[in-house]
């Protein structure tokens, strides 16, 4: 790993940490950077998740009051998130590098679409299921569990854009309060990431030199992003991140299929 690689990883960590704190989409910076320094795709994905992991906890702490009001459903949400992400992380580890390389453009496209239209997806689900509670019929509970499990598996496998899917699921199952939904989303994402990171570390799938270099940027990036959150127009920032995501998606389609 040369000086350019280190600089690239630190810069990607800074942007990824700040992006997550401000508008989401940190993976659009960190995952491609891991690939560009020469890591295999599966290792790059796992290492990117570990590098951004410490920044998850402050967001959970910030929403502790809202979480206390959702106590009846916390155990189910955390259990489903843990088991689903465990399955997703395992699927990633058993996916052959050649297969995952072919999936990269499609995963990036899916994540980009979620990033672009996730807000509309959440709003649409809130309109379709106003006031619907998680204590509905057995069928409603089964559908909610199936949706939450599918999201958790995706979160453990790749994860980019999963936050929007989680919040849409909350709207369907009756959480209309945005602050409560965001707090529960942060908790669920943290649980998913904790489990997947533990699996990746136990499996020896982490490139530690690259991960530590990126983490050195991600930690201050998350802090500065939180400080800047009140000063920067989030809509403009999201557009900038979306433009980068679109460009990277097009690049990986060209790289894989050209």
> E-strand spans in 3-65?
none
| CB distance 16 to 30 below 8 Å | yes
5-14, 117-126, 173-182: which has the minimum mean pLDDT? 117-126
CA pair distance 58, 219, nearest whole angstrom: 11
- Is 70 exceeded by the pLDDT of residue 141? no
Alpha carbon distance 162, 143 (integer Å) = 18
Residue 140, pLDDT above cutoff 50:
yes
Is the pLDDT at 10 greater than 90? The verdict is: yes
**Pair of tokens at residue 4:** 């350019």
What digits encode the pLDDT tens for the residues 199-210? 999 999 999 999
Residue 44 has pLDDT above 70, yes or no: yes
Is the Cα dihedral 92, 98, 100, 101 positive or negative?
positive
Distant-in-sequence, close-in-space partners of 124: CB < 8 Å, separation ≥ 6:
168
| Residue 2 backbone class (left: φ over 0; alpha: ψ -120 to 50; beta: rest) | beta
Q: Domain map of the chain by residue range?
A: 3-257
Indicate the pTM of the whole model.
0.76
Please say if the pLDDT value at position 6 is more than 90. Answer: yes
């Amino acid at each position: 790993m040369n000086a350019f690689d280190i600089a690239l990883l630190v810069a990607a960590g800074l942007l990824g940490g700040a992006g997550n704190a401000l508008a989401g989409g940190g993976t659009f910076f960190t995952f491609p950077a891991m690939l560009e320094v020469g890591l295999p795709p599966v290792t790059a994905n796992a290492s990117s998740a570990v590098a951004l992991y410490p920044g998850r906890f402050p967001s959970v702490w910030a929403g502790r009051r809202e979480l206390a009001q959702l106590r009846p459903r916390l155990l189910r949400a955390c259990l489903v998130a843990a088991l689903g992400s465990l399955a997703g992380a395992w699927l990633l580890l058993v996916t052959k590098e050649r297969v995952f390389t072919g999936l990269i453009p499609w995963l990036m496209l899916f994540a980009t679409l979620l990033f672009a239209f996730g807000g509309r997806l959440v709003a649409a689900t809130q309109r379709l299921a106003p006031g619907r509670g998680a204590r509905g019929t057995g069928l409603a509970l089964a559908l909610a569990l199936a949706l939450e499990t599918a999201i958790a598996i995706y979160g453990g496998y790749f994860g980019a854009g999963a936050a929007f899917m989680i919040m849409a699921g909350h709207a369907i199952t009756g959480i209309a309060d945005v602050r409560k939904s965001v707090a529960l989303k942060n908790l669920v994402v943290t649980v998913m990431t904790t489990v997947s990171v533990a699996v990746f570390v136990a499996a020896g799938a982490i490139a530690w030199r690259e991960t530590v270099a990126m983490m050195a940027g991600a930690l201050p990036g998350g802090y500065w992003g939180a400080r800047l959150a009140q000063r920067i127009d989030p809509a403009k920032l999201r557009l900038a991140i979306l433009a980068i995501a679109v460009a990277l998606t097009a690049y990986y389609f060209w790289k894989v299929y050209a």
